[in-house]
Amino acid sequence: MKINLTSANPINLKTDCLVVGILDGGKLTASAKKANKTMGGIIQRLVDDGDIKGTSGSILMIPGHPNSPARRVLTVGLGKAHESGVAEYKQAVDSAATALARLPIRNATVTLAETAVADRNVSERLRLLAYAVCDATYQFDQTKSTKERKRPLARVTFSVSSRAASVRARRAIRESQAISNGVKLSRDLSNLPGNICTPSYLAAQARKLQRSHGLKVTVLDEKRMEQLKMGSLLSVSRGSRQPAKFIIMEHRGAAQNQRPVVLVGKGLTFDAGGISLKPAGGMQEMKYDMCGGASVFGALSAVAELGLPLNVVGIVPSSENLPDGAANKPGDIVTSMSGKTIEILNTDAEGRLILCDALTYAERYKPDAIVDIATLTGACVIALGHPASGVFSNDDTLADQLLEAGEQTRDRAWRLPLWDEYHEQLKSGFADIANVGGRGAGAVTAACFLSRFTEKMKWAHMDIAGTAWKTNTKTGSTGRPVPLLTQFLINRSTN
C-alpha cells in the first residue's frame, strides 16, 4: 500500500473514489461542501432527505458526477468527533477503510484528516487513517495453492488543508508507512503454521532483515546456549525435534556508547502445552504463541526503515513446546542462566521459561530500558479482554511511556500491579522459584516471575495474549503491539 499526501484542493484531483466527512446532524465538512457544490448539491439533498445522517461510521456511496473528476464519492459519518474525540473518529476511519478495501478501485483520495478531532492533531489523525487502511487491505494467502484475488486498492492520498500542515504531516505519513510495513511483517510471520514457521525459519527471516534493512543479526544455536547455561530455555526445546534458536537483531542508529533499548519477544512457534497438554479444541491457533517475537521483528524493521537515531536490540528466544519422552515433566527442576533454580509445576507455562534466560542475556547490553512482549497468559485475557494489552513494570516512567505510545497509536494498554504480596504465590519448597502461582492473578504472577530476572534493569513486561490474535478470522494476527512499540521508540529518539 502506497500512502501519499497532498495539500491541493482534493475536489480537483482525479481519483477512483473521493472520501468526504459528514458531521453529526448532517453538517458537511469543508471538503464535503466543495464536493456538494461540484456535484450540483446532491450531497446536501441526500442529507435533507435523511439518507445521510452523519452518525459515526455510517457510509453512503454516490456515483460520480459529470462535473467531478472523482468516479465516485464516499460519504463517511464522523459523529461528534470534533467534540468527543478519538473513539468516534476511529470508528469512522475504520468504516471508511473497510468500504474502500471492498471496492474495485486502484486509488482513493481521503479528506477525513482535515476535520478537527477533540484530542488529536493532524499528524495523529493521519496515523489512525493509515493504520485503518493498511489493516483493512491486509490479506494472507501464502499457504493457499489458489491465491485470492488481490484487493486492487494500491494507493491512497490523504488530503490536508494547508502546506503548513503538510510539513508536519509528511513525517507522520513516513512513520505510518514504516509502522504499517512492520505490522504486515509481524502478521505474516504469526499467521504461518508451525510446520513452516519453525525457530530455524524465524532465524532465516532475521537474516533477510539483515540484508534488506541493515540490521546486525546473530543467531545462537543450542550448543552455544548450553555454553551460556540457558538451562531454562533449553528445557523447553527438549520435547521438540526442531532445534531452538536465540535470535538477536541490532539497529545501531546512535553513538556506540549510547545505551540501547532492548525488546525481548517470546518466539514459541507452536505450543501444545508439553506434558501438561492443552485441550484439542482450538490448539491449531497455538501457532500464534510467537506473536511477541513477531512484534519484535516488526518493530525492528520499522525502526530500521525510519533510521531512528537510537540503538535498539531485538531478542527472540524461539522454540516449540511439545510432549515427548525428553520433554519437561511437572515437578522437574531446571537451572536458569541467572543461576536461579525453577520448579516446573506446569509445562504449559513455558513462555516465562524461555524469556527468563533471554532477559538475563540482555543484561550484557546494559540497556537503558528493556521491554519483553509475550502472549503469556489466558488470565490477562480474562482480566482485560481484547481491547488492551497488559503492562507490568518496575519503573513508573517506563510504564507511562508505553501507555502514552499506546494512546497515540490507539494500540492501547493498561497497567497491572507487581506487588510483593503476589510473589508469595511463587514460593517453592524444592527450588528458588516455581513457574506458576496458582489460579489467582495468573497474569500478575507470571509477570512477578519475570521480574525476578530483571532486578538490575528498568524493565516492563507486556502480556499481549488478548490483543495479538483474533480467533476464527481470515486474518488471524493483528500485528499488535507493533504500533505501540514503534511509537514508543520514536518518542524516545526525539526526547
Nine cell digits for residue 458: 528498568
Q: How far is CA 244 from CA 167, 270, 322, 333, 351, in A?
A: 47, 12, 13, 20, 13
The active-site residue out of 127, 352, 412, 480 is: 352
Burial of 216 (0-12, 13-18, 19+ CB in 10 A): exposed
CA 105 to CA 363: how far, in whole Å?
51
CA 235 to CA 333: how far, in whole Å?
10
Amino acid occupying residue 274: G
Contacts of 228 (CB under 8 A, 6+ apart): 220, 337, 357, 361
> Which 3 state secondary structure label does DSSP give 69?
coil
Q: How far is CA 367 from CA 298, 311, 327, 484, in A?
A: 20, 10, 33, 19
Nine cell digits for residue 488: 514508543
DSSP 115: S
Contact of 442 with 377, CB cutoff 8 Å: yes
278 included as an active-site residue: yes
Strands (E) in 176-291, as ranges, are: 216-220, 245-252, 261-265, 267-271
258 φ/ψ angles, rounded to the nearest 5 degrees: -80, 125
Contact of 243 with 198, CB cutoff 8 Å: no
Contacts of 143 (CB under 8 A, 6+ apart): 192, 193, 196
CA 209 to CA 314: how far, in whole Å?
12
The active-site residue out of 53, 71, 229, 278 is: 278
Active-site positions read 278, 352
